[in-house]
């Protein structure tokens, strides 16, 4: 939103008063004197007028290690949700950036920054997501080639983008996808009638789960946030 509109909506001044307020250096945006009525005010811009704070919302970015049997939702009548695991003063503002299935474990990102979660979910951004998978039937190089070439999903009539599969053992692999279709990993192995027994997300772009314990949460670091915005 433009600064003049923000001030008219959040103070007793009108839009036409804003120019004068700025000239008199009475408006601070993130601690610096505002320069123009057209300056953008986002949800996370700290806005002060005559030393009174009109808006001060801190953006929150959290990484969570989702355990099995937890729903990727903010509310559920039956099962615990990822939000039930969060202890944070801004918990009620948070939403999930990229869901995992009920039995999938691993990295989930939570934020109150809708623009950020939209940006990282944009298909054209092709943010790589890496999973460790175990399956019920032995794997072979045929899977590697097929996943690289793309698997046709008849329901949507689309072919998956090239994915990187690294075989770790006869029944386990590491898979990196740059998209997130519904049940994508299970359906890719399902193409070979191979059932996914466990699925664990270890990273989303530059954010890695590392040693975070199941059910634990840590803030996404400044370096990780910077790496995401550089993508
Ligand atoms: N693919 C799946 O099939 N399930 C997930 O939870 C994530 C990716």
pLDDT on residue 224: 96
Q: Is 183 near ligand 1, meaning CB less than 6 Å away?
A: yes
Q: Is 101 near ligand 1, meaning CB less than 6 Å away?
A: yes
What is the CA(198)–ligand 1 centre distance, in A?
Answer: 10
Q: Which fold has domain 128-204?
A: Alpha-Beta Plaits (3.30.70)
Q: Tell me if 100 sits within 8 A of 201, measured CB to CB.
A: yes
Would you say residue 230 has pLDDT above 90? no
Report the nearest-CA residue for atom 7 of ligand 1: 100
Binning pLDDT at 50, 70 and 90, where does residue 231 land?
A: confident
Q: List the one residue out of 200, 76, 62 whose CA is nearest residue 131.
A: 200
User: To test ligand 1's pocket by mutation, which of 70, 130, 186, 201 has the most ligand atoms within 8 angstroms of CB?
Assistant: 186
Q: Which CATH class is domain 59-125+215-231?
A: alpha beta
pLDDT in tens, 153-181: 999 999 999 999 999 999 999 999 999 99
Q: Is 99 near ligand 1, meaning CB less than 6 Å away?
A: no
Please give the share of the chain, as a percent, with pLDDT higher than 90.
95
pLDDT on residue 131: 98
Catalogue the active-site residues: 101
Residue carrying the six token digits 């989303």: 204
Give the mean pLDDT of 22-43.
96
Q: Is 179 near ligand 1, meaning CB less than 6 Å away?
A: no
d(CA 70, CA 63): 15
Binning pLDDT at 50, 70 and 90, where does residue 229 land?
A: confident
pLDDT in tens, 56-85: 999 999 999 999 999 999 889 999 999 999
Q: Which residue ranges make up each domain of the chain? A: 3-55, 59-125+215-231, 128-204
Q: Is 100 near ligand 1, meaning CB less than 6 Å away?
A: yes
Average model confidence (pLDDT) across the chain:
96
Binning pLDDT at 50, 70 and 90, where does residue 110 land?
A: very high
Q: Which CATH class is domain 3-55?
A: alpha beta
Asked, colleague to colleague, whether 59-125+215-231 and 128-204 share their fold, the answer is: yes
Would you say residue 211 has pLDDT above 90? yes
Q: What is the pTM for the complete model shown?
A: 0.89
For 211, counting Cβ atoms within 10 Å of its Cβ (0-12 exposed, 13-18 middle, 19+ buried), the class is exposed
Closest atom of ligand 1 to 186 CA is 3
């Amino acid at each position: 939103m433009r600064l003049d509109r923000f001030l008219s909506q959040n103070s007793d001044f009108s839009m036409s008063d804003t120019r004068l307020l700025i000239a008199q250096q009475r408006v601070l945006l993130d601690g610096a004197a505002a320069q123009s009525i057209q300056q953008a005010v986002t949800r996370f811009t700290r806005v002060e007028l005559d030393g009174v704070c009109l808006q001060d919302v801190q953006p929150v970015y959290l990484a969570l290690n989702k355990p099995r049997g937890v729903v990727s939702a903010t509310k559920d009548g039956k099962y615990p949700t990822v939000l039930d695991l969060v202890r944070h003063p801004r918990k009620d503002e948070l939403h999930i950036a990229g869901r995992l299935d009920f039995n999938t474990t691993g990295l989930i990102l939570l934020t109150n920054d809708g623009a950020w979660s939209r940006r990282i979910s944009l298909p054209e951004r092709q943010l790589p997501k890496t999973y460790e998978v175990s399956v019920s039937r032995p794997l072979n190089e045929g899977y590697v080639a097929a996943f690289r070439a793309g698997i046709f999903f008849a329901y949507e009539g689309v072919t998956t983008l090239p994915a990187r599969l690294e075989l770790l053992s006869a029944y386990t692999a590491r898979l990196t996808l740059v998209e997130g279709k519904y049940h994508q990993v299970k359906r890719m192995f399902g193409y070979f009638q191979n059932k996914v027994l466990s699925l664990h997300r270890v990273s989303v772009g530059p954010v890695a789960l590392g040693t975070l314990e199941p059910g634990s949460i840590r803030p996404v670091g400044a370096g990780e946030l910077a790496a995401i915005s550089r993508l």
